[in-house]
Amino acid sequence: MSAQTSVASSHERVRPSSAPTGWQGWVLVAPFLLCFGVFSLWPLLNAARLATQQTYGPGFSRFVGLENFSQLLRDPMFWTALKNTSSFTLLSVLVQMPLALGLAMLLNRPGLRGRGFMRLILFSPVLVGVVFTAMIFAVLLEKRTGLINIALHQAIGWDLDFAWLERGVMSSLVLATAWQYTGFNMVYFLAALQTVPEELKQAARLDGAGPWARFRHVTLPAIRPVAMFVVLLCIIGSFQVFELPYILLNGGAGPDNRGLTLVMYLYQTGFQTGDLGYAAAIGWMLALILATFGIAQRVLASRHERMKGGTGGGA
Amino acid sequence: MATVQLSNLSKTFADGTAVVRGVDMTIPDGEFCVLLGPSGCGKSTTLRMIAGLEVSSGGRIVIGGRDVTDAEPKDRDVAMVFQNYALYPHLTVAENIAFPLAMRGVDKATRARKVREIATMLELDELLGRVPAQLSGGQRQRVAMGRALVRDPKVFLFDEPLSNLDARLRAQTRRELKALHARVRITSVYVTHDQEEAMSLADKVAVMAGGVIQQYDSPLELFRRPTNRFVAGFVGTPAMNFVEARVEAKGEGKGQAAGAQMVVTTDLGRMRLGAGSGDGLKVGDVCTLGIRPTAIDVRRAVAGIEEEGEHAGVAQGVIESCDLLGEVSDLWIRCGTQAVLARVRTQDWMRSGEACLVGMPRAEMYVFEPGSMGKRLSGGESGMSEPRGAVAAALA
């Protein structure tokens, strides 16, 4: 009996008196579950239901099964939107990543004067709203009076009448996005660069590695997980692009739908044509595409983690 | 292989802190030199200046007759083993070892042959396909050695390479390192704060403090004849005991040195030092006496110690703590205001609170000028210090 008592009391001692038990734990996570349920899970499930309906405004709906999805695969507008969005994403990654990494490496140099100020300046565009960015670039990309045409004209004799928002829609979108997000990505790279072991760089110098070899064999492997994460962020953000082309192209998709993106097509179908079911199907396709990228990133990251192992001694 | 010469080498950081001040030393071809000192003494900075990873503020570095003071690290023909090994985590062991050769444009076949040779020498054959994360600390250390060895450098630099290993592995790696150096005989500079490591590895040790080399000598000389109180306190385990003293009387006449004695007063009582002690001191001068813990005689109070004869002085004390190490024990003995550490052969009566007598053999006493860097004035003439206390205690 006394042994039992002592076991019981030792159990009580092991568990801190403040630790929540059973229902207390549920109470603590309830606010999150409530918000997640109402604002994420419910809309997601509702969108799944909606994707199986043909709707005409909120009043009319009819169950069509997977018809919306098969229709989508035959829809040339969807393929145009997917092609445009993919090109925009690819170009954004190709422009923003090297630029952000390059700037981060430049601003990571110890002893560089005005380093903090430059970091702030380059980061600040992300603090400006997308709508505002679109409005700035609408002015910058003007035909005769836009700063970009004037600068290019003076530098390389560029045609002052070049209509960026008609003939160079994709370039305009990529440029505006790069202006806004390169500094943001740079901050991630800066943080990653600061974790590159100094000893490793020095070992490489002694081993005779030049700047490129040091970048390839020391810097790049060390920042790979962060680089993969930043690329994923850029892909997700680019696939969701909507406000920028919407405002730059005055609510349209530009000539020949050159500025039609997936989310813009979703918006047009759901809120202009009124077929919410078809729009939900587009939304689900977008979600599937992004989920694929997310899973790919996770697989690559976990492979990298396995290679690096648990200890930092080798790094 | 090459001789390394440092002349008046110095380093001052941008904030004005001088970390290395006028280091002069010559490391002969094939010798193993250890830079030993406490944290912040400038030993690592000196090593990094030799490697070219740190730009010197003054002085010259000559390796194999060539002035490399302003040369790029890769052009100095030195290889370095880092504290954290600095292996490329995404490369296999074979690729890590071959990396310096690849960077120098050595062809693939030669690279493969050299990697095999090194792997055999360091017993890494089974591990060539693994990445560093799959290796133990000792194995990583060997890979780092392999990467340094593979290109036959003129000079090997080691920056505390054993500090991340556990005690047993450290001792084993130390032996391997010593054997390896005996085989390749490449001039080596090794930085450590561990004096045991320094004593066991080095042909010569440079003890540094405050950015200055205090003494550059063989391990035995450092132990026997430390140049100053700092070296005496830093070299030897456990560290030397010091006690402040004032000269009370001194034998006159150099001609009759045999009979001359110096009598000093200390917190441990009056002491009669041997002939020729405290060269240059006069009556009334202050100095520091030193004695190694292994040289001290400790007897149970009831047994008694002859004050006359071989002891400079005998103090009464009480054992404050007794650390049993096995065959020997470390005793902290309180003698009035002074605490003395003695390493003696373990005896049953040695317990905290036990009264004892502490005898300090005259032949084992060191005399230093006052101050933490006080110059050695006498002591160390009798040769290697025997564990007298332990022997005497065993006989008692």
pLDDT (tens digit per residue) in B223-261: 999 999 999 999 998 999 999 999 998 875 444 444 458
| DSSP E strand boundaries for B222-337 | 241-250, 262-266, 269-273, 286-291, 297-300, 311-324, 328-335
- For position A16, what pLDDT does the model report? 52
Assigned token pair, A38: 């109402």
Q: How far apart are CA A235 and CA A180, in angstroms?
A: 15
pLDDT of residue B379 exceeding 80: yes
Looking at residue B346, its pLDDT comes to: 93
Residue A201 parent element (H or E): helix A198-206
Q: Distance between CA atoms of A255 and A123, rounded to whole angstroms? A: 33
**Predicted confidence band at A176 (pLDDT cuts at 50, 70, 90)?**
very high
Give A104's pLDDT tier (boundaries 50, 70, 90): very high
Tell me how far apart the alpha carbons of residues B297 and B343 are, in angstroms, rounded to a whole number. Answer: 9
Contact A133, A244 (CB under 8 A): yes
Distance from chain centroid for Cα B34: 8
By a Cβ cutoff of 8 Å, what residues of chain B touch chain A?
Answer: 51-53, 72-74, 78-80, 82-91, 99-100, 103-104, 131-135, 137, 140, 147, 164
Please choose, from the candidates A261, A255, A189, the residue with its C-alpha nearest in 3D space to the C-alpha of residue A222: A189
Q: Do B99 and A206 touch (CB under 8 A)?
A: no
Kindly report the length of chain B: 396
B204: confidence class by pLDDT, cuts 50, 70, 90:
very high
Contacts of B135 in chain A (CB under 8 A): 314
Domains B4-234 and B241-395 share a fold: no
B51–A307 C-beta distance less than 8 A: no
- Sequence-separated (6 or more) residues with CB below 8 Å from residue B148: B79, B80, B81, B156
The answer to whether A181 touches A96, Cβ cutoff 8 Å, is yes
User: What is the spatial distance between Cα A288 and Cα A282, in angstroms, rounded to a whole number?
Assistant: 10
pLDDT at position B260 = 53
Q: Which of B238, B241, B216, B215 has the alpha carbon at shortest distance from B228?
A: B215
The nearest alpha carbon in chain B to A212 belongs to B103
| Kind and range of the H or E run holding A156 | helix A147-156
CA distance A84 to B67: 61
B298 vs B311: CA distance, rounded Å = 12
Task: Please judge whether B84 and A197 are an interchain contact, meaning their C-beta atoms are less than 8 angstroms apart.
Answer: yes
In Å, how far is B135's CA from the nearest CA of chain A?
8
- Statement: residue A3 has pLDDT above 90: no
Interface with A, mutate which of B44, B99, B134, B154 (most A CBs under 10 A): B99
Instruction: Give mean pLDDT, residues A310-314.
Output: 38
- Measured CA to CA, the distance from residue B208 to residue B191 in angstroms comes to 10
Chain B residues inside the 8 Å CB shell of A207: 74, 99-100, 103, 147
Percentages (nearest 5) of helix, strand, coil residues in chain B: 25, 35, 40
Domain boundary assignment for chain B: 4-234, 241-395
With contact defined as beta carbons under 8 Å apart, do B92 and B105 qualify?
A: no
Contacts of A306 by beta carbon, 8 Å cutoff, 6+ apart: none
Contact call for B103 and A213, based on CB within 8 A: yes
Contacts of B70 (CB under 8 A, 6+ apart): none
Question: Comparing B31 with A62, which gets the higher pLDDT?
Answer: B31
Give the CATH number of domain B241-395: 2.40.50.140
- CA–CA separation, B332 vs B338, rounded Å? 10
CA distance A205 to chain B (A): 6
A56-60, A106-110, A125-129, B160-164: which range is least confident on average? A56-60
Is ipTM over 0.90?
no
Residue A12 confidence (pLDDT) above 80: no
Cα dihedral B298, B303, B306, B307 sign:
positive
Asked whether residue A310 carries a pLDDT value surpassing 60, the answer given is no
If pLDDT is split at 50, 70 and 90, which confidence band does A311 have?
Answer: very low
For residue B1, what are the CA distances in angstroms to A203, B74, B167, B181, B247? Answer: 20, 16, 31, 12, 52
**Chain B nearest C-alpha distance from A99 (Å):** 25
Which of B106-120, B139-153, B170-184, B256-270 is least confident? B256-270
Identify the architecture of domain A67-308 in CATH: Orthogonal Bundle (1.10)
Specify the pLDDT at position B14: 87
Counts of helices then strands in chain A (DSSP H, E): 16, 2
Percent of chain A whose predicted confidence (pLDDT) is above 70: 90
**Which residue is listed with tokens 């023909």?**
B77
Q: Where are the domains of chain A?
A: 67-308
Residue in chain B lying closest to A210 (CA):
B103
- Smallest Cβ–Cβ distance between A314 and the set B52, B89, B100 belongs to B89
Q: Do B51 and A206 touch (CB under 8 A)?
A: yes
pLDDT value for B197? 92
Buried b (16+ CB within 10 A) or exposed e, B27-57: beeebbbbbbbeeebbbbbbbbbbbbbbebe
* Alpha-carbon span A258 to A239, nearest angstrom: 15
**DSSP class of residue B363?**
G
> Taking a C-beta distance cutoff of 8 angstroms, is the pair B371, B301 a contact?
no
What pLDDT shows up at residue B308? 54
Beta bridge partners of B264: B247, B271
* Residue pair B295/B388 in contact by the 8 Å Cβ criterion: yes
Q: What does the mean pLDDT of chain B come to?
A: 89
For residue A13, pLDDT beyond 60: no
Do A132 and A247 form a contact (C-beta atoms < 8 A)?
no
Architecture per CATH, domain B4-234, reads as: 3-Layer(aba) Sandwich (3.40)
Name the residue with higher pLDDT: B280 or A77.
A77
| Long-range contacts of residues B62-67, Cβ cutoff 8 Å, at least 24 apart | B62/B3, B62/B4, B62/B5, B62/B7, B63/B2, B63/B3, B63/B4, B63/B5, B63/B154, B63/B155, B64/B1, B64/B2, B64/B3, B64/B154, B65/B2, B65/B3
pLDDT of residue B394: 41
Give percent of chain B above pLDDT 70.
92
d(CA B264, CA B243): 11
**Top-confidence residue, B358 or A7:** B358
Cβ A311 vs Cβ B85: under 8 Å: no
pLDDT at A183: 95
Q: What is the DSSP string of A241-279?
A: --HHHHHHTTTS--GGGTT--HHHHHHIIIIII--HHHH
In the DSSP assignment, the letter for residue B360 is E
Cβ neighbours of A217 in B, within 8 Å: 88, 90-91, 99
Over residues B34-50, the mean pLDDT reads 95
- B interface test, pick of A207, A223, A300 with most B CB neighbours within 10 Å: A207
Mutation to test the A interface, candidates B13, B50, B53, B96, most A Cβ within 10 Å: B53
Tens of pLDDT along B296-325?
Answer: 999 888 766 665 568 888 899 999 999 999
Question: Would you call B133 and A200 a contact, using CB atoms and an 8 Å cutoff?
Answer: no
Position B213 scores a pLDDT of 96
Give the C-alpha separation, B121 to B278, whole Å.
52
pLDDT at B211: 95
CA B103 to chain A, closest CA, distance in angstroms equals 6
